[in-house]
Amino acid sequence: MYGIQDMGEKDAKANLRQDINDNLKRVFNEALEEDVPDRFKQLLAQLKAKEAHEKGAAAKNGVATDPGSSGDPAKGGKP
């Protein structure tokens, strides 16, 4: 059977786990509320512009750039 000390240790461990859980949730929620840094926004805009340019050039040349348009299911395309 469990002694009083064992029960106290279990309670302490349960409390510690709950504190860790609460703190992780708090930190995660705070991170979700943070705004995306301007530098990341700039990099994303550059990436989107580059992808749009490449898709436009590929379409002009008749080349598929989207894996979904390849027709090959092994490459993520639709049969």
Residues 39-74 have pLDDT tens digits of 999 999 999 999 999 888 888 777 665 555 555 555
Structure confidence at residue 29 (pLDDT): 96
When the pLDDT of each residue in the chain is averaged and rounded to a whole number, the result is: 82
Enter the pTM of the model: 0.42
Percent composition of the chain: helix, strand, coil (DSSP 3-state, to 5) = 75, 0, 25
Rounded Cα–Cα distance for residues 58 and 26 (Å): 46
Higher pLDDT, 2 or 32: 32
Number of alpha carbons in the 13 Å side-chain half-sphere of residue 43: 5
Q: How many CB atoms lie within 10 A of CB 65?
A: 13
**Is pLDDT of 14 > 70?**
yes
Are the C-beta atoms of 43 and 49 separated by less than 8 Å?
no
